[in-house]
């Protein structure tokens, strides 16, 4: 779904790339925060995995902030998330949704690697969602699946301004795949998702919710969002 999707990057094949998303919401009954807790900016300075913090407030009733972490080990991301959660801004919040994935060969192209694994910087907006294929999908003839995925990929290439990040999550949670699409204009996310509905592969999606969509924040903007 990005012009860079089909560009092989050798280093991506040599390194394991994990991604962790964590969504939080305000707690209306939260007690006064710990005055000794570090700020989110100070906590983030101690980790290297934070790709972005996003304002997802208003788009759903159960979400205010989305964190996106990337790294080479799952336990490292878990530790970094704990560090960030202890910050003054995040400690009073309640968890809404979490998902962990890892880059494996994509269904549609062995050369595909996530935008974050290729070192591309985050764009202004992201939408994150899981999906689960139909029960029939994995036992269909490979050629038949290949035709459907090729059609899907060609439609995605019509939106080169959108960066795609697909990771596998089999056994890491309730889903098979996790997808984060990035764009500087949220309209591009709307139009791309609608465009991809008109494909045969769409018939083989069993689950594709929840969606979390939001704007990339500077760390000093977070306090206002969760106030």
Alpha-carbon gap, residue 76 to 114, rounded angstroms: 19
Q: Band of the pLDDT at 214, cuts 50, 70, 90?
A: very high
Q: Where are the beta strands (DSSP E) in the chain?
A: 18-25, 50-55, 65-71, 94-102, 125-133, 163-168, 177-183, 205-207, 212-216
Alpha-carbon gap, residue 65 to 58, rounded angstroms: 10
The pLDDT, as a whole number, for residue 200 is 96
Q: Catalytic site residue 18?
A: no
User: For the segment 172-202, what is each residue's pLDDT rounded down to a tens digit?
Assistant: 999 999 999 999 999 999 999 999 999 999 9
Work out the average pLDDT over 193-218: 97
Residue of 129, 135, 138, 159 with catalytic role: 129
The pLDDT, as a whole number, for residue 105 is 80
User: For the segment 135-158, what is each residue's pLDDT rounded down to a tens digit?
Assistant: 999 999 999 999 999 999 999 999
pLDDT at 95 over 90: yes
Q: Which residues pair with 54 in a beta bridge?
A: 66, 216
Sign of the CA dihedral running 130, 135, 139, 145: negative
SS3 205: strand
CB 101 within 8 A of CB 147: no
Residue 150: what are its φ and ψ, rounded to 5°? Answer: -65, -45
User: For the segment 5-63, what is each residue's pLDDT rounded down to a tens digit?
Assistant: 444 444 444 799 999 999 999 999 988 777 899 999 999 999 999 999 999 999 999 99
User: For the segment 113-129, what is each residue's pLDDT rounded down to a tens digit?
Assistant: 999 999 999 999 999 99
The pLDDT, as a whole number, for residue 2 is 41
Q: Band of the pLDDT at 3, cuts 50, 70, 90?
A: very low
The pLDDT, as a whole number, for residue 31 is 82
The pLDDT, as a whole number, for residue 12 is 42
The pLDDT, as a whole number, for residue 145 is 94
Q: Locate tokens 């969509």: which residue?
A: 213
Percent of the chain topping pLDDT 70: 92
Domains of the chain: 10-225 (3.30.70.3420)
Is the whole-model pTM more than 0.95? Answer: no
The pLDDT, as a whole number, for residue 128 is 99
Which residues have CB under 8 Å from 29's CB, separation 6+?
none
């Amino acid at each position: 779904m990005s012009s860079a999707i089909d560009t092989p990057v050798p280093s991506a094949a040599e390194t394991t790339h994990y991604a962790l998303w964590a969504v939080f919401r305000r707690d209306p009954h939260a007690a006064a925060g710990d005055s000794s807790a570090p700020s989110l900016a100070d906590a983030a300075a101690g980790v290297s995995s934070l790709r972005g913090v996003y304002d997802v407030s208003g788009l759903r009733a159960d979400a205010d902030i989305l964190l996106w972490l990337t790294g080479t080990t799952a336990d490292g991301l878990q530790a970094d998330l704990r560090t960030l959660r202890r910050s003054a801004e995040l400690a009073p919040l309640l968890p809404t949704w979490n998902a962990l994935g890892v880059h494996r060969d994509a269904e549609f192209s062995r050369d595909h690697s996530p935008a974050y694994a290729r070192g591309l910087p985050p764009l202004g907006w992201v939408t994150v969602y899981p999906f689960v294929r139909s029960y029939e999908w994995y036992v269909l003839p490979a050629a038949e699946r290949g035709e459907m995925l090729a059609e899907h990929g060609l439609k995605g290439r019509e939106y080169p301004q959108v960066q795609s990040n697909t990771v596998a999550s089999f056994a890491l949670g309730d889903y098979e795949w996790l997808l984060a699409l990035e764009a500087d204009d949220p309209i591009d996310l709307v139009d791309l998702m609608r465009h991809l509905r008109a494909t045969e592969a769409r018939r083989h999606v069993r689950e594709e919710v929840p969606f979390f969509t939001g704007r990339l924040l500077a760390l000093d903007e977070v306090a206002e969002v969760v106030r």
